[in-house]
Amino acid sequence: MKIVDVKTHVMGTAWRNLTFVRVITDEGLEGVGEVRMLNHTDALLGYLAEAVPNHVLGHDPRHIEDLVQRMYRNDYARAGEIAMSAIATIEIACWDIVGKALGRPVYELLGGPVRERIKAYANGWYTVERTPEEFHRAARRVVEYGYRALKLDPFGSGFYELEPAEKRKAVALVEAVRDAVGPDVELLIEMHGRFNPATAVEMARELAPFRPSWIEEPVPPENLAALKKVAEQVTIPVATGERLHTRYDFRPLFELQAADIIQPDITHCGGILEIRKLAAWAECYYLLVAPHNVGGPVSTAAALHLAAVIPNFKIQEHFNDLNEEWVKQAAPGNPAVVDGYFSLPKGPGLGVTLDEAFVAAHPRQRIFFNLFAENWHLRQAVQPPLPGSGASSAEQPPSPTAS
C-alpha cells in the first residue's frame, strides 16, 4: 500500500480555522487527520506543500514510525509548532488507514483499552457577559448537558499582573461557578500563561477555597524554572504542556518536576504514537496526562483513542458540545458525553467520517484569535478583509494538494 495523494480542507468558524488532512492510498483506503492552528493556518499549509512530496508520497502508511522519523529528521531544521502539527495530521490519518485496513479501532492497535469510559471536561462554555450571574447560569447549563467537570479562565485580558478590582472579579467568577455546579463537579482553572510567578501564586491561593483540580499554565511556557517556583508555593496541582511541541521540550519539565499534570496536544506534538511515548515517560514521574484538545471531531476522535490506552490518563478536554456544536457534523461518529464520560469510540480506524461537502459549506475565515484582547472569551475572532484585497473574510484560498 502506498500514499498517492494528500488533500487539505479548511473549515472556518467564529474563532477557529480547522484544517482537515486526507491521506489517500493506491488501494482506495484513506484516512483523515486534523489540527486547529492558532493564527498560523497558512504556515501549516505551506509546510505541507513542501513536506508531502518530499516525505509522504509513495510511503507505506502502515510504516508510521518510519514516516514520522523521515519528516522530523530529514529536513534538518529543528521541528516546532508548525512541523509537529503537520506531522501529527499525517500520522493521525495513517492510524486511521491502518485501523480501517484491519477492521479494528485504533486503540486496539496501541495495546488495547485500559478503561471503558473516558472522563471529559467542557471548555468554551462561558461565551457570556463577564459577570458572576452570567457565569453562574452558563455553568449550570454545562452540568445540565451532562458534564461533571469544566474549565474556565476568569482573568480577562490580564498579563503578568492584575489590578485589585480584576483580582476580586476573577475570584467572584470562580465562586459563582463553584456555587452553580456544587461540590462534586471538577473545576479547572485556566491561566493561559498570563502571570509572573508572584501573581500566579497569589491567585492560586485566593482560589484555593473553591477546590480547583488544577491551575493551568500559570506562567508563560518558555521558563520552566519559573513554573517550578509556582509549583513549590501552591497546594493546587499544576498543569501545563499545550505549548510544548516535542518530547525534548518536556524533558526539563519532567526533570524539574515542575508540574503534576501534562497537557500535550496530539495535533501539535507529532500525533498519537508520540504522545503514547510521552505518557509512558511521564508515568515514571507519577504524572497524569490530560491532553489538550481545542479541535473539531477528528482531533477529538484521536484524543479518545489515545485516552483509552494510557494508564495515567486523567481527563479529556472538549469544546464542541457547548461551543459551536455544529462543528461535530464535519466528521460524525464520536460517542456523546453521558454523565461526564465518553464511551470508547466505535468502528474501524478513528471511527469518524469526514463530510467534505459540510466542510466546504463553511469556508475558511480570516481569524485573529487574541487571548490577551478584551472579551476574548466571547470567541468572536473573524476579521474584516484586508484593505484592497477584494476578498471577503470568508473566502478560502486554494489549499495545497499533492495530486
Residues marked as catalytic: 192, 292
Calculate the alpha carbon distances from 49 to 8, 399, 400 in Å.
Answer: 10, 9, 5
Long-range contacts of 255-258 (CB under 8 A, 24+ apart): 256/224, 256/225, 256/227, 256/228, 257/228, 257/231, 257/285, 258/224, 258/225, 258/227, 258/228, 258/231
Residue 273's closest CA among 83, 88, 34? 88
Tell me how far CA of residue 212 lies from CA of 32, 79, 183, 237, 287, in angstroms: 36, 34, 10, 9, 18
Q: Which helix (H) or strand (E) holds 171?
A: helix 164-181
Query: C-alpha cell of 141?
Result: 447549563
- DSSP line for 6-34: EEEEEEE-SS-EEEEEEEEETTS-EEEEE
- If one counts every other C-beta atom within 10 angstroms of the C-beta of residue 55, the result is 22
Is residue 265 within 8 A of residue 242, CB to CB? The reply is yes
Q: Cell numbers at residue 69, please? A: 522519523
**Cell numbers placing 104:** 479494528
**Alpha-carbon span 371 to 197, nearest angstrom:** 19
Q: ∠ CA 182-150-331 to the nearest 5 degrees?
A: 140
Give CA–CA dist 3/24, Å, rounded.
6
Cell numbers standing for residue 47? 509546510
**Residues 353, 330: Cα–Cα separation, whole Å:** 8
